Amino acid sequence: MAGILSKLSVKPLLYAVGVLLVACAGLGGALAVQQRWYGGQLATVTAARNTAQVSAEAWKVRAGELDLANAAFQDVNETLQGLLAKAQGENTRLQDEGRAAIAAAQAAAAAANRTLDTWLARYADQVRKGDCASALNAVQQACPAFNGY
């Protein structure tokens, strides 16, 4: 009985051990292939990570530069807004002064025209009178420089 039992149990166990040994060897080979493949992937991912870190640092530096440029622009813009407001105020003042000067000049011209019209009317009246006309002719004959008045 011991012989049959040993034949029935030892041989199948040896076959099972052999199959398990082949399976272990296959798994070991697969594991070695997988390790090489993941090692290549790890190198690729590490290089991509390093590139991303360098790019992120570059963007941080660029963002800092743009923040400084934006702050400088804000200062210049505030200065220019102040100058624009002053210039607009000056423009309004000058326009008001110009309108006042034009109105004064038009008033002075109207007054001068009224005065001229008054003198022309007086002169025309005096020229029509005989004694004034003869006096004017006498003055013009005595002094030729007064001709043409």
CA–CA dist 18, 24 (Å, integer): 10
Q: What is the count of structural domains for the chain?
A: 1
Residue 87 is part of which domain span? 2-142
> Which pLDDT belongs to residue 19?
94
> Which pLDDT belongs to residue 102?
96
Task: Give the list of residues 6+ apart from residue 125 with CB closer than 8 angstroms, or none.
Answer: none
What's the mean pLDDT in 87-99?
A: 95
CA–CA dist 89, 32 (Å, integer): 84
Banded pLDDT at 127 (limits 50, 70, 90):
low
Banded pLDDT at 3 (limits 50, 70, 90):
low
Q: Is 149 a member of any domain? A: no
Q: Is 130 a member of any domain? A: yes
> Which pLDDT belongs to residue 39?
85
- The yes-or-no verdict on residue 95 having pLDDT over 90 is yes
Secondary structure E strands in the chain: none
Q: Is 126 a member of any domain? A: yes
Q: Is 71 a member of any domain? A: yes
Q: Is 148 a member of any domain? A: no
Tokens of 67: 């923040």
Which pLDDT tens digit goes with each residue over 13-71? 888 899 999 999 999 999 999 988 888 898 899 999 999 999 999 999 999 999 999 99
CA angle (97, 102, 105) in 5-degree steps: 125
CA angle (146, 148, 149) in 5-degree steps: 75
Q: Is 17 a member of any domain? A: yes
pTM above 0.75, yes or no: no
CA–CA dist 123, 117 (Å, integer): 10
- The yes-or-no verdict on residue 110 having pLDDT over 90 is yes
Sign, CA torsion 82/85/91/96 = negative
> Which pLDDT belongs to residue 71?
94
